[in-house]
Amino acid sequence: MDYLDKPDSKLCESLFKGDSKAFELIYNKYFKYLYRYVNHSLGSKEDSEEILHDLFLSIWQNRSNKKILDLRGGPSATVLNAINLVRKRAELPALEGLSKDGLREAIWRERFYELSFENKTWYDMVRLRKAFNVSTKKFDAYVGHKFSYGPTLSEKELLFPIPTAEIRNNNKLKQNKGY
């Protein structure tokens, strides 16, 4: 199997064995996405690059420790250190003592605040099937979430309607629920 055809899980297995080519592919695949997020939070190209280079260096140096990328038992120190590097530069308090679910929710909350200023929270809510409750500062199930200004989300809002012309062209298509 060619490296480029390997799924991330196989690349990580190769990385854990010390395969520098697998590490290079992971770095090239994820650096630009992580950079956009970190740079948006910090607003400094140099600081963002430094943090990400430190993160990837830490991953390479600890590559034999498979727990680096495994959150089943809770976030590893490496993961928390990387997140806290970004938070420190953005002058935010460090995240500490979080469980796997606690870290996941903290990341969702950060995404909610970031995306809300870009007017893009809707797509993230649909993808996660979670809606942020501004009153409780917790995430509710998407279906049944009641916004503070009145409407309640239903299953209908998870999918767009299928255009009538498409249904006419293919009689096996059924309209999405609620339309």
| CA-wise closest residue to 129 among 158, 156, 160 | 158
What pLDDT is stored for residue 128 in this prediction? 87
What pLDDT is stored for residue 75 in this prediction? 67
Domains contained in the chain, CATH given:
1-119 (1.10.1740.10), 121-179 (no CATH)
Measure the CA–CA gap between 30 and 94, rounded to whole angstroms: 23
What pLDDT is stored for residue 71 in this prediction? 46
pLDDT, block means (10 residues), the chain with 179 residues: 69 84 87 82 82 84 67 65 82 85 85 84 87 90 91 90 94 91
pTM as predicted: 0.55
Calculate the alpha carbon distances from 37 to 27, 118, 141, 149, 155 in Å: 15, 13, 26, 30, 30
